[in-house]
């Protein structure tokens, strides 16, 4: 059956979301149709609106969510109607070289790089006003119902509170994993975290969980500092308070630079600052923030020649289908908190207000 429901459709760039009635087609073979219960708002969604992440329009955005399976297509065996699930913007097909490698997690079946905005078979499951509407990175969660490929959904604990664990679909896992998985932060080490949004705060939590002795939080919005300290930051620094470049400030604070730095904003200048502030011989810097389209980095290669490591991290380095259920189980065992990452809870129809709160740093 086709389901008619509400969705927030983005018809063109730099315009508000339009709440529309859409038709959601039934799942085809190896697909799952999900009733979305809760979805988070992430800066990556906003990058599509502003053109920083280039995607085709019209599109249904959203990629950080949790819901309940409504129906499954032919051949789906691992998931059944009624299961609680989290859609995965990084799928796990289990067959590509990244899935088969112990070092990789960015399944080649992802739609981040190609930006086709379609299901794996090259078609869409959404129609609005007689027009086909694109999917967003295989998830599209700003809708009451969505369809995802079986490789892009994880079954989770049926007791999990969906309005909280939806954050494990992107923000929390991305930040926490960047620290514990990608950087492999060690006990007693010193870390710097650039950017204190939901993902940056999750990096702080990961550094603390890994036993870092100093966690220096960096943001140009000092309103973010209290929460960063609550979650484990030992010091907070606002680059606007200094005349000298922030990497020099951090090197002075630590004597030799930090062991690990994380860029959780998506600006090229802060990526270079994060690299420059880590220890020149064995420091590790991780890019977590989504880089804007068409921007290039120019930097002194001596920064790397001396031994630093510069890494990227997508979805915190987690193999999604394997790790998301375990992260939900850890949350249920109170191994980490999610409540401090939730600043507002709004009804779906107020999604534009939610994006205004994101853009104003609230």
At residue 114, the pLDDT reads 80
What CA–CA distance (Å, rounded) separates 111 from 131? 21
Q: What is the largest CA-CA distance in the chain?
A: 64
Distance (Å, whole) CA 85 – CA 91: 13
Judge if 3-171+317-360 and 183-312 fold alike in CATH terms. no
Predicted model pTM: 0.96
Rounded to 5 degrees, φ, ψ at 290 are -65, 120
CATH code assigned to 3-171+317-360: 3.90.180.10
**Inter-CA distances, 246 with 64, 192, 219, 274, Å:** 32, 11, 10, 9
Alpha helices for the chain (secondary structure H): 43-50, 97-100, 162-165, 171-177, 198-209, 225-230, 246-254, 268-277, 302-305, 320-332, 351-359
The answer to whether the CB of 63 falls within 8 A of the CB of 102 is: no
Q: Which residues are catalytically annotated?
A: 42, 44, 47, 63, 170
Closest to 57 (Cα-Cα) out of 139, 115, 125: 115
Q: Which CATH superfamily is domain 183-312 in?
A: NAD(P)-binding Rossmann-like Domain (3.40.50.720)
- What does the alpha-carbon distance between residue 262 and residue 174 come to, in Å, rounded to a whole number? 12
Per-residue pLDDT tens digits of the chain, which is 362 residues long: 999 999 999 999 999 999 999 999 999 999 999 999 999 999 999 999 998 889 999 999 999 999 999 999 999 999 999 999 999 999 999 999 999 999 999 999 998 888 889 999 999 999 999 999 999 999 999 999 999 999 999 999 999 999 999 999 999 999 999 999 999 999 999 999 999 999 999 999 999 999 999 999 999 999 999 999 999 999 999 999 999 999 999 999 999 999 999 999 999 999 999 999 999 999 999 999 888 787 899 999 999 999 999 999 999 999 999 999 999 999 999 999 999 999 999 999 999 999 999 999 89
The alpha carbon dihedral of 62, 68, 74, 78 has a sign of positive
Q: Where are the domains of the chain?
A: 3-171+317-360, 183-312
What HEC string does 19-68 produce? EEEEEECCCCCCEEEEEEEEECCCHHHHHHHHCCCCCCCCEECCCCEEEE
CB neighbourhood size of 15 (10 A): 10
């Amino acid at each position: 059956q086709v389901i008619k429901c509400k969705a927030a459709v983005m018809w063109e760039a730099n315009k508000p979301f339009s709440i529309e009635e859409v038709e959601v087609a039934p799942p085809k073979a190896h697909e799952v149709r999900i009733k979305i219960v809760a979805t988070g708002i992430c800066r990556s969604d906003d990058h599509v609106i502003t053109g920083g992440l280039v995607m085709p329009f019209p599109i249904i955005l959203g990629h950080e969510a949790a819901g309940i399976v409504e129906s499954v297509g032919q051949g789906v065996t691992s998931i059944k109607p009624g299961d609680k699930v989290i859609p995965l913007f990084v799928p796990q097909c289990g067959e590509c070289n990244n899935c088969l490698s112990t070092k990789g997690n960015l399944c080649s079946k992802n739609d981040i790089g190609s930006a086709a905005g379609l299901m794996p078979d090259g078609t869409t499951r959404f129609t609005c006003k007689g027009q086909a509407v694109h999917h967003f990175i295989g998830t599209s969660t700003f809708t009451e119902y969505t369809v995802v490929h079986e490789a892009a959904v994880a079954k989770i604990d049926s007791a999990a509170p969906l309005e909280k664990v939806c954050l494990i679909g992107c923000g929390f896992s991305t930040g926490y994993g960047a620290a514990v998985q990608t950087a492999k932060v060690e006990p007693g080490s010193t870390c710097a975290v650039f950017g204190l949004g939901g993902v940056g705060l999750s990096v702080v939590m990961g550094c603390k969980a890994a036993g870092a002795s100093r966690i220096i939080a960096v943001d140009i919005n000092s309103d973010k500092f209290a929460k960063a300290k609550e979650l484990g930051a030992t010091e907070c620094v606002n680059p606007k308070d200094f005349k000298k470049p922030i990497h020099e400030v951090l090197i002075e604070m630590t004597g030799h630079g930090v062991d690990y730095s994380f860029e959780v904003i998506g600006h090229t200048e802060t990526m270079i600052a994060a690299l420059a502030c880590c220890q020149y011989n064995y420091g590790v810097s991780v890019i977590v923030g989504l880089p804007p389209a068409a921007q290039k980095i120019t930097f002194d290669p001596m920064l790397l020649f001396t031994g630093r490591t510069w890494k990227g991290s997508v979805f915190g380095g987690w193999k999604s289908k394997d790790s998301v259920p375990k992260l939900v189980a850890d949350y249920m065992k109170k191994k980490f908190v999610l409540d401090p990452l939730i600043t507002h809870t709004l009804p779906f129809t107020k999604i534009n207000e939610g994006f205004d709160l994101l853009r104003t740093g609230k």
